[in-house]
Amino acid sequence: MRSEFRRLLQANIDEKLKNVPKQRSIDPPSGGWLKAIRVALAVPARYPASKLGLTTQAVEQLERGEAAGAITLKNLRRAADALDCDVVYAVVPRAGSLSAMLSKQADKRARTTISAVAHSMRLENQGTDSEEQAAELARKFVADPKPSLWVTE
């Protein structure tokens, strides 16, 4: 994949993630969102069942599946739609953005690379500014990221 395309994709995803709340996760109600919303609104199971073309038992099975974390996104979206709700879904980098994630990995890899070289240089009594070198190498990694940046040795 060309690096310019990667940069555009990264910027696009980072822009979309700006709208994600800072709270990284919301614990679902113990019985799952589908059942909690249905019960809170006094909606009988037959209402979403009729909208979905399912039996009430099948709706209750969907609810149990959601509570157990064993429902597909497709089925969760369909069931939520039957309750006039939306599913909000995102995979959010813990670092806050793809840019931050890339910088963090580049810094980690640069420090690992430079520390090996710095150790050899010290053994030969040759001084080195490893912090500055690591920062420069990290900038190069960020400017043109390669898959090898993520490979652990």
CA-wise closest residue to 128 among 150, 106, 140, 113: 113
Q: Where residue 125 falls among pLDDT bands split at 50, 70, 90?
A: low
Q: Is the pLDDT of residue 124 over 80?
A: no
91 found inside a domain: no
- pLDDT tens by residue, 24-58: 778 899 999 999 999 999 999 999 999 999 999 99
Cα-Cα-Cα-Cα torsion 92, 13, 73, 69, nearest 10 degrees, comes to -10
CB 79 within 8 A of CB 52: yes
77 and 107 together in one domain: no
Q: Is the pLDDT of residue 123 over 60?
A: no
Q: Is the pLDDT of residue 153 over 70?
A: no
**Nearest-angstrom CA–CA distance, 48 and 37:** 12
CA angle 118, 122, 125 (to 5 degrees): 140
Average pLDDT over residues 13-24: 83
38 and 78 together in one domain: yes
CB 52 within 8 A of CB 45: no
**Nearest-angstrom CA–CA distance, 28 and 99:** 29
What's the token pair of residue 36? 């909690």
Task: Quote the number of domains for the chain.
Answer: 2
Task: Report percent pLDDT > 90 for the chain.
Answer: 61
- Domain extent, residue 129, equals 98-150
107 and 77 together in one domain: no
